[in-house]
Structure 1
Amino acid sequence: MKNVLLVFLGGGAGSILRYLISDYTQKLWKINAFPMGTFVVNILGCCIIGFLTSYFLKADNYLKYLLITGFCGGFTTFSTFSAESFSLWQNQNYTALLLYIILSVVLGFGAVILGMKIHTSWL
């Protein structure tokens, strides 16, 4: 039950921070048709989860439920990424759609690796 509470608390905090960063980013960078807010949040979340995963490989404790499952799960948003991709497709904005999908996957993967490398360089 303790783990469920930790996931709940981390998920709430991650969701709120996702909303704040995404909203601010979307207002800061008004790029037509490109969902910059979700993109920035997801890439940042990939870097964070890479860092945390690297840390918790060696230190298995209850904080992984709070930070990885809860916070990162609430912070990043694959469902919004998918819905925004569908919207770009519906609006026949195929260039932005292709760019969004490719950049999200490639930079997201790279951000996970970067997060892991940041953690290992601190040791």
Structure 2
Amino acid sequence: MINFLLVALGGAVGSVLRYSVGFAVAHIWPQHLYIATVFVNIVGSFFIGCAFSWFLLRPDISALSPLLLMTGLLGGFTTFSTFSLDALRIFNEGQHMQALLYVGVSLLGGLLAAWLGMALIKFTL
């Protein structure tokens, strides 16, 4: 039961953080709200790379910690379903190149950020 509670707690915090980023971007660039999704997906990918490596290199840390941080917090923070919807909306608005750029930057940026996070932890521990 504690596993579910930790995932729920982390997910609630991650979701509020994601909403906060979207709220901030809506006030700065209301015409480019999808930037918030790109940001959270890349930042979330970086931190999940960090967390993954940290937990691999630190087996002494409780097995509950990844549930709270990776599954819960970062799962609630990142937004693949929103990413998919945003890409389709941009594409359906006739902005085909912008939609392709959005998908490319999100996917490559996320992969690069996750790799950087893993490398950072690997080389600092």
Shared fold (TM-score, shorter chain, > 0.5): yes
In proportion to residue count, which structure has more helix?
A: 2
Q: Identity percentage over the alignment? A: 39
1:23 corresponds to which residue?
A: 23
Contact 1:33 1:88 in 2 (8 A): no
44-53 vs 14-23, which moves further: 14-23
| Contact 1:22-1:41 within 8 A present in 2 as well | no
Superposition CA RMSD, Å = 1.5
Render the CA deviation track for 1:8-37: whole Å, top value 9, x for unaligned: 000000000111122213433x28456111
Unmatched tracts of structure 1, length 5 or more? none
Q: Residues 94 and 102 of structure 1: is their aligned pair in 2 closer, same or farther, counting only changes over 3 Å?
A: same
For normalisation by structure 1, the TM-score amounts to: 0.92
Residues 45-67 of structure 1, C-alpha deviation per residue, up to 9 Å, x if partnerless? Answer: 00000000111123262110000
Q: What are structure 2's unaligned runs of at least 5 residues?
A: none
Structure 2: distance between partners of 1:48 and 1:117: 11
Which residue is equivalent to 2:43? 44
Q: Is the 8 A contact 2:25 2:33 kept in 1?
A: no
Secondary structure, aligned partner of 1:57: helix
Q: Distance in 1 between the 2:16 and 2:32 partners?
A: 24
The TM-score, its normalising length taken from structure 2, stands at: 0.90
